[in-house]
């Protein structure tokens, strides 16, 4: 579990978030990026209500360590997309989603472009 540090010192208890939740947030954020292909594109097309837990965690690895949270995204891009810009957009989308939804700031968001898919 990932502990969420609260800025207020509430006596209500602690908040913990399962790493799988962070994986789902990162997966959804990645699927929103223009030029993304493969299963992330299918996530966007299908709608979340028809997606299994296994599909949502595919292509995303979340590693929680004492010194921070490390996220690795393995994805394919469309031919003709600027790889550097797309990778930065994925990083920013994941960062924004995680910090907005959980107040957790990941230590690293590493993007691995596995291949380029030709346009059809």
Query: How is the chain split into domains, by residue range?
Result: 2-117
Provide the pLDDT for residue 51.
Answer: 64
The CATH code of the domain at 2-117 is 3.30.70.1350
Cα-flanking dihedrals φ and ψ of residue 25, to 5°? -60, -45
Provide the pLDDT for residue 4.
Answer: 58
Provide the pLDDT for residue 108.
Answer: 97
pTM of the complete model: 0.83
Query: Which residues lie below 8 Å from residue 24, measured CB to CB, with a gap of 6+?
Result: 53, 56, 57
Q: Provide the residue count of the chain.
A: 120
Provide the pLDDT for residue 44.
Answer: 65
pLDDT in tens, the chain (120 residues): 665 554 445 677 888 888 889 998 999 999 999 999 877 777 666 665 666 666 677 899 999 998 999 999 999 999 999 999 999 999 999 999 999 999 999 999 999 999 998 876
Provide the pLDDT for residue 45.
Answer: 66
Q: How far apart are CA 56 and CA 26, in angstroms?
A: 9
* pLDDT per residue as tens digits for the range 58-71: 899 999 998 999 99
């Amino acid at each position: 579990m990932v502990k969420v540090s609260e800025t207020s010192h509430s006596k209500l208890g602690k908040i913990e978030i399962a790493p799988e939740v962070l994986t789902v947030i990162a997966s959804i954020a990645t699927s929103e990026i223009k030029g993304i292909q493969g299963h992330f594109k299918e996530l966007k097309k299908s709608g979340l209500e028809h997606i299994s837990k296994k599909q949502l965690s595919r292509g995303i690895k979340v590693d929680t360590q004492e010194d921070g949270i490390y996220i690795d995204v393995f994805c394919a891009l469309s031919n003709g997309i600027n790889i550097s810009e797309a990778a930065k957009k994925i990083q920013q989308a994941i960062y924004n989603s995680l910090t907005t939804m959980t107040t957790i700031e990941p230590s690293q968001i590493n993007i691995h472009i596995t291949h380029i898919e030709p346009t059809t």
